[in-house]
Amino acid sequence: MDLQTAQAILNKIKAYDTIIIHRHMRPDPDALGSQVGLAEILRASFPEKQIYQVGKTVDHLEYLATMQEIADEVYQDSLVIVTDTANAPRISDERYHLGKELIKIDHHPNDEPYGDLVYVDTTASSCSEIICDFYQQLADELTMTTEAARLLYAGIVGDTGRFLYPATTAKTLRMASFLREFDFDATLLNRQLSQISLAVSKLVGYVYQNLKIDENGAACCYLSQAILQQYGVDDSMTAHLVPLPGEIDQVQAWALFVEQPEGYYRVRLRSKTKPINEIAKRHYGGGHPLASGANAYSLEEAQEIYQEIKDVLKNSHKE
């Protein structure tokens, strides 16, 4: 982020007494880290302002942060900031448009530039990295706290798969190093981020056992409601399963189809090198080139998505 952009965002913040920060539905550590990390920085920097973090709370990430409940009236004359969310329909708590002005801060492809001020950096590993960058540009005017550092660090660790994914850059590591200087319990945090329940550990075995892999490395696994119930796991606990197929040498791109209680499938797409986000966009989704999400409204549509992954790898094989 350049100084001019950081100043433009800060000027908006300075102009409002009430600032409400949102993020995407089904939050992950980066959604919460960037949202509440920013909220903590602003609370410490501007104690006279009212700063709120809103959206649906997710039980298993309560060690990171919990949300606040606010009345509709609070939005009057407020500034709303949305972090880590590419499309407006995915913003958690649809009241985001009730504020006077809206700022989008994100690292996904800017498919929907909603907001009066939009800052998107697709080269950032995570939205938490962007918030840390924003702070560093304006360090003489803003205050970083230990709690903000803990949250932003969690967001970076979460979205980079512990500094493993290709979006991890030298800058990511510099930001993480800066945050790590603060006095939070990083050992505990890392454990919390990577810990799984015994039920999920058993489902890990199911995923490895039932993964379908074609000759070009296109892989998929279906998690039906019956299987989820049998293992005592719900959708919100499946995040740890998503990277697993990528650990297998011959797998190049993969989809995890998680059946929802309503009957449709949540699709989680990943790839080692070939972009798969165009597939996601064709099926009510989107995301990063190598990490996207979509929805399939029938088993046939799920099969189509798997076929599209196979086609991407088959065609690239010919190149």
When asked if residue 22 is in the footprint of ligand AMP (CB under 6 A), the reply is: no
Question: Of 70-78, 143-151, 177-185, 291-299, which part binds ligand AMP (CB under 6 A)?
Answer: 291-299
Cα separation, 247 vs 225, whole angstroms: 25
Instruction: Count CB atoms within 10 A of the CB of residue 181.
Output: 9
Of the candidates 251, 252, 254, 267, the one whose C-alpha atom is nearest the C-alpha of residue 299 is 267
The residue within the footprint of ligand AMP, chosen from 13, 286, 290, 312 (CB under 6 A), is 286
The residue within the footprint of ligand AMP, chosen from 276, 287, 305, 312 (CB under 6 A), is 287
Residue found under tokens 């080139």: 289
When asked if residue 293 is in the footprint of ligand AMP (CB under 6 A), the reply is: yes
When asked if residue 175 is in the footprint of ligand AMP (CB under 6 A), the reply is: no
Site string for ligand AMP, 239-278 (x = CB under 6 A): ---x-------------------------x----------
When asked if residue 87 is in the footprint of ligand AMP (CB under 6 A), the reply is: yes
Size of the residue set binding ligand AMP (CB under 6 A): 16
Strand segments (E) across the chain: 18-22, 50-53, 79-83, 101-106, 117-120, 212-213, 218-223, 253-259, 265-271, 286-288, 291-296
Q: Which residue is nearest to ligand AMP (CB)?
A: 293
Question: Of 85-93, 140-148, 176-184, 215-223, which part binds ligand AMP (CB under 6 A)?
Answer: 85-93
Buried b / exposed e along 224-256 (16+ C-beta atoms within 10 A): eeebbeebebbeebbbbbbbbbbeeeebbbbbb
Helices 127-137 & 29-45, crossing angle to 10 degrees?
20
When asked if residue 291 is in the footprint of ligand AMP (CB under 6 A), the reply is: yes
Residues of this chain that bind ligand AMP (CB under 6 A): 24, 86-87, 90, 108, 242, 268, 285-288, 291-295
